[in-house]
Homo-oligomer: A and B are copies of this chain.
Amino acid sequence: MPYSPAPRKRRKDARPSELSAAALSLFVEKGFAATRLEDIAARAGVSKGTLYLYFDGKEALFKAVIQDGIVPVVAENEAIAARHTGSTFLLLEKLLDNWWAAIGQTDFAGIPKLMVAEARNFPEVAQFYYENVIRRARTLVGNTLERGMAEGEFRRMDVETTIDVIIAPILMLLIWRFSMANCQSSEADAGLYLRIHMDLLRQGLRASQV
């Protein structure tokens, strides 16, 4: 018999992530304080009490949302970089593609805005996020840049600044989408935006070819 774990069992295991998914979408939508546990429970299709079977409370839910959300993607990107061979710029593109598929097009896309909004109220979670997401992501990009420079594919440049130039537009894209985007009459085209960004980088990074 190939597969088919008992549905009830699968349900039980899936619960926590169902719950934190519901929490994430509401936290992103309304902010932490303005989200009621009752709404999270309702969106997950369980009762309020059930939340407490899996999480210690609202704060714990917030931490879980942040901590479980993005870290795996960072690790995944680190793995991608580790096994990559060939053009460094192609690696940058791979990293962006993977990040876009795993974050940008999922509910996790709301996390940066959420984290920005709540960092001061949850310094401990912010610290965790800084060390496990931001720092690692910057290191990854930084290493990639250095690899490109070492191989002569990229021109020499200040690494920290260039990391900012690479990451900031991507972050702004997400933050914008979960804050002011509704105010624009015309829908922004995220795919186009990212392509332009990468095009600029392709030119901007490469060693000048005389």
Contact = CB atoms under 8 A, between A and B. Distances in A.
Contact count band on A:
35 or more
Interface stretch (A10-18, A47-55, A71-79, A172-180): A172-180
B30 A126 contact: no
B179 A115 contact: yes
Contact of A182 (B30, B115, B123): B123
Nearest to A119: B179
Contacts of A180: 115-116, 119, 126, 129-130, 134
A136 B42 CA distance: 41
A179 B30 contact: no
Interface string A112-125: 01011111110100
Q: Which 6 residue pairs spanning A and B have beta carbons closest together?
A: A33-B33, A117-B117, A130-B183, A119-B179, A116-B179, A168-B172
Given A30-B120, A117-B117, A123-B183, 4 more contacts: A116-B117, A117-B179, A130-B183, A165-B169
